[in-house]
């Protein structure tokens, strides 16, 4: 019997390894992987580059008027094995992962008009199923009927350490304390915003991976996927 194509929604806090798991699953299942955080990050990069947001001001109204000029797309990179994100035709995969962008992204992601546009695009990408999508509102808003919903958690310190090591490897000059502060601050804004706050869908399965190796986590999730398919 041919396997059913499903939607796998992975939500959770910052740096809980959602994208690592999503990439593993997509590769294993031959599904499309969609990193929705990358879309909010690309929109943030646009806002920063065009002067709509800075440390002490956010010109939301003018930014919203410019939204139609933000074209976000994905292109599969066969060397990397996943799709990279493009902003108005330019590969911004590296630029969007800096601490600078992380420092502003939650503010951009709290703007209802931004969410409306990006959610519509995400629903379009996933309409034929066979996708693994990770973010904050995938199981609650983007695909409330997803066949499998996972909600990832891990302790603040474990998450900050992971993100800090990633940034160090990329030569981003940050301290552990800055990263921990950013992880906590984003969690706070993401869970307290009015529009589509980060919340566990009632039918999502919670996975705390503080003490799980990548292999253990993958095995566990694969069993859930097999059941759902
Ligand atoms: O997954 P990430 O850390 O790259 O996401 C960056 C930010 O984007 C995150 O702090 C909150 C926001 N985001 C969101 O609001 N909704 C999503 N579906 C994905 C990300």
CA–centroid distance, 135 to ligand 1, in Å, is 6
CA–centroid distance, 2 to ligand 1, in Å, is 34
pLDDT tens-digit readout, 157-182: 999 999 999 999 988 889 999 999 99
Pocket test for ligand 1, best of 15, 98, 135, 198 (most atoms within 8 A of CB): 135
The pLDDT assigned to 129 comes to 96
With beta carbons less than 8 A apart as the criterion, state whether 156 and 180 touch: yes
- Provide the CB-side half-sphere exposure for 56 (13 A, CA): 0
The partner residues of 11 in beta bridges, in order of sequence, read: 135, 151
pLDDT tens-digit readout, 49-105: 999 999 999 999 999 999 999 999 999 999 998 999 999 999 999 999 999 999 999
Q: How far, in whole angstroms, is CA 89 from its chain's centroid? A: 20
Radius of gyration (C-alpha) of the chain in whole angstroms: 17
The Cα 170–Cα 96 span in angstroms is: 12
The pLDDT assigned to 1 comes to 46
pTM of the full structure:
0.94
Q: Would you say the CB of residue 43 lies under 6 angstroms from ligand 1?
A: no
CA–centroid distance, 167 to ligand 1, in Å, is 17
The owner of tokens 């590296």 is 94
Indicate if the pLDDT at residue 140 is higher than 90. Answer: yes
The Cα 22–Cα 67 span in angstroms is: 28
49-84 in b/e form (b: 16+ CB < 10 A) is eeebbeeeebebeebeeebeebebebeeeeeeebbb
The pLDDT assigned to 4 comes to 78
pLDDT tens-digit readout, 174-211: 999 999 999 999 999 999 999 999 999 999 999 999 99
């Amino acid at each position: 019997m041919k396997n059913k194509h499903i939607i796998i929604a992975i939500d959770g806090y910052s740096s809980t390894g959602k994208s690592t798991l999503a990439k593993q699953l997509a590769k294993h299942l031959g599904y499309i992987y969609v990193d929705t955080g990358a879309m909010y990050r690309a929109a943030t990069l646009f806002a920063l580059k065009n002067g709509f947001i800075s440390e002490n001001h956010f010109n939301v109204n003018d930014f919203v008027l410019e939204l139609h000029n933000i074209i976000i797309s994905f292109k599969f990179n066969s060397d990397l094995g996943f799709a990279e994100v493009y902003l108005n035709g330019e590969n911004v995969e590296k630029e969007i992962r800096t601490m600078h962008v992380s420092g502003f992204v939650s503010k951009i992601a709290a703007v209802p008009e931004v969410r409306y546009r990006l959610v519509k695009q995400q629903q379009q990408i996933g309409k034929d199923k066979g996708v693994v999508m990770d973010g904050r509102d995938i199981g609650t808003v983007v695909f409330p009927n997803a066949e499998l919903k996972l909600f990832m958690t891990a302790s603040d310190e474990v998450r900050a350490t992971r993100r800090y090591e990633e940034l160090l490897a990329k030569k981003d000059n940050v301290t552990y304390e800055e990263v921990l502060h950013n992880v906590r601050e984003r969690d706070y804004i993401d869970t307290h915003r009015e529009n589509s706050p980060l919340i566990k869908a009632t039918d999502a399965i919670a996975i705390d991976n503080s003490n799980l190796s990548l292999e253990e986590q993958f095995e566990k999730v694969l069993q859930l996927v097999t059941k759902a398919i």
